[in-house]
Amino acid sequence: MKIIRAIVVTVLLCVCTMFNSCNTISDHEFEVNGVKFKMIAVEGGSFMMGATPGQGDDARENEKPAHKVTVDDFLIGEIEVTQQLWFAVMGSNPSHFKNKDGNYPVENVSWYDVQEFIKKLNEITGQQFRLPFEAEWEYAARGGKKSTDKKYAGSDNVDEVAWYRNNANGTTHAVATKKANELGIYDMSGNVFEMVQDLSSVNPKMMYTVRGGAITNPASAYPRVSSRCAFDIKSKMFSIGIRLVLVVC
């Protein structure tokens, strides 16, 4: 990937002033150093989080019981953060699986690396990007208010929406090459696990939570929308990446 020394950014107003009110949100595109990325508007609401009927017998104990959760409006990345965007912000690409177009998800980054990336992205854009909270992530993966309780993000057929153990051939893939979910969001099942803002309740000082599954997982496990897993906060793995959320108000 060619090094670009000067950082060029589309200057945008605070998200609260992009729209007429905090009750009206819409998709928005950003650009950093020539790299564009789209944030999808998700209208808040209440949903059943966890082992809903759509998860069938594959649901694990840490997904039970299903319980009602309410989330506010937010914007979430249409795609996982790509190597291209990471490079535009950080000037390097730490990923294990690289491609010349930079449209594979960034991976092989620690929780601390991600916090530094988000800090720099916010300094460049003047926005308030962060990782999604676990409830926000699952609500978006399920399709928000358009949800029909699918097993995976956008389908009950895992091959339609996910790169996972049976079809990935041991490598990550370009983002947005599988079917999007009901909200037009890609890869919330499979490709790479996605870090969330919540630290693990098992050991919050040492572990963080990931969602969505990866190329290493079978269909019955982590690609499902309610599946949860935790990793060491210092770990760097080729199966873990990130997706951004933008604070609305």
Q: What is the pLDDT of residue 109?
A: 97
Return the amino acid letter for 168. Answer: A
pLDDT score for 199? 82
Domains in the chain, ordered, with CATH? 15-246 (3.90.1580.10)
Q: What is the pLDDT of residue 14?
A: 43
- Averaged pLDDT in 10-residue chunks for the chain of 249 residues: 37 43 81 97 97 95 96 98 98 97 97 96 97 98 96 98 97 98 98 92 82 95 94 94 92
pLDDT at 2 (0 to 100): 39
pLDDT the model gives residue 248: 82
Is 148:214 a contact under the CB 8 Å cutoff?
no
* pTM, to two decimals: 0.90
Query: Using CA atoms, how far apart are residues 35 and 49, in angstroms rounded to an integer?
Result: 34
**CA–CA separation, 227 vs 59, rounded Å?**
7
C-alpha torsion sign, points 144, 148, 150, 156: negative
Confidence (pLDDT) at 17:
42
196 contacts 77 by C-beta, under 8 angstroms: no
CA angle 185, 2, 39 (to 5 degrees): 20
| AA letter at 157 | N
E-strand ranges in 63-216 read 67-71, 74-77, 129-130, 193-199, 207-211
pLDDT of residue 247: 85
pLDDT of residue 121: 98
